[in-house]
Amino acid sequence: MRIVALVPGGVGDQIMFFPTLDNLKRCYPQAQIDIITEPRSKAAYRVNTSHNNVINFDFRDRNSLADWGNLVGTIREREYDAAITSQPSWILGLILWLTGIPKRITFQGKGKGFFSDTVPMNTQKYAAQTYHDLLAGLGISSSCPDLAINIPRADIEWADNEQKRLLVKDSGYILICPNSCSVAQKKHGDRIYPYENWQQIIQKFQEKQPDMQVLVSSDTESNQSIESINTFQESLPDTKLTIPGNVGQLAAMIAGANLMLCTHSSAMHLSVAVQTYTIALFGSTEPNRFLPPQDKFIGIKSPTSNVADISPETVLEKILG
pLDDT at 106 over 50: yes
Say what percent of the chain tops pLDDT 70. 92
- Span of 9-13, 29-33, 225-229, 302-306 with lowest mean pLDDT: 225-229
Quick one: fold of 153-320? Rossmann fold (3.40.50)
Residue 77: pLDDT above 60? yes
- pLDDT at 184 exceeding the cut of 50: no
pLDDT of residue 195: 85
Conformation bin of residue 275: beta by default, left when phi > 0, alpha when psi is -120 to 50:
left
Q: Which pLDDT belongs to residue 130? A: 97
- Give dist(CA 275, CA 270) in Å, integer: 9
Q: What is the pLDDT of residue 181?
A: 44
Higher-confidence residue: 50 or 111? Answer: 50
Average pLDDT over residues 90-102: 96
CATH architecture, range 2-138: 3-Layer(aba) Sandwich (3.40)
Res. 222: pLDDT tops 60: no
State the pLDDT confidence band at 321, using cuts at 50, 70 and 90. confident
pLDDT score of 269 more than 50: yes
- Can you give the pLDDT at residue 187? 55
227: pLDDT strictly greater than 70: no
Task: Name the nearest CA neighbour of 8 among 111, 117, 96, 86.
Answer: 86
User: For residue 182, what pLDDT is reported?
Assistant: 42
List every span in the chain annotated with CATH 3.40.50.2000. Answer: 2-138, 153-320
| For residue 4, pLDDT beyond 50 | yes
β-bridge mates for residue 117, sequence order: 105
pLDDT at 234: 72
Contact 226, 218 (CB under 8 A): yes
- Spatial CA neighbour of 282 closest among 257, 256, 318: 318
Per-residue pLDDT, averaged over 46-64, amounts to: 95
Long-range contacts for 85-94 (Cβ within 8 Å, ≥24 apart)?
85/5, 85/6, 85/7, 85/8, 86/5, 86/6, 86/7, 86/8, 86/9, 86/13, 86/17, 86/131, 86/134, 87/6, 87/7, 87/8, 87/9, 87/59, 88/112, 88/115, 88/118, 88/121, 90/114, 92/6
Q: Per mean pLDDT, which of 160-164, 223-227, 239-243 is the most reliable? A: 160-164
> Bigger pLDDT: 235 or 114?
114
Q: Is residue 221 pLDDT above 70, yes or no?
A: no
Mean pLDDT of the chain, nearest integer: 91
Tens of pLDDT, residue by residue over 41-53, are 999 999 999 999 9
Residue 279 has pLDDT above 90, yes or no: yes
70 pLDDT above the threshold of 80: yes
Q: pTM of the full predicted structure?
A: 0.92
pLDDT of residue 192: 85
Q: How confident is the model at residue 230 (pLDDT cuts 50, 70, 90)?
A: low
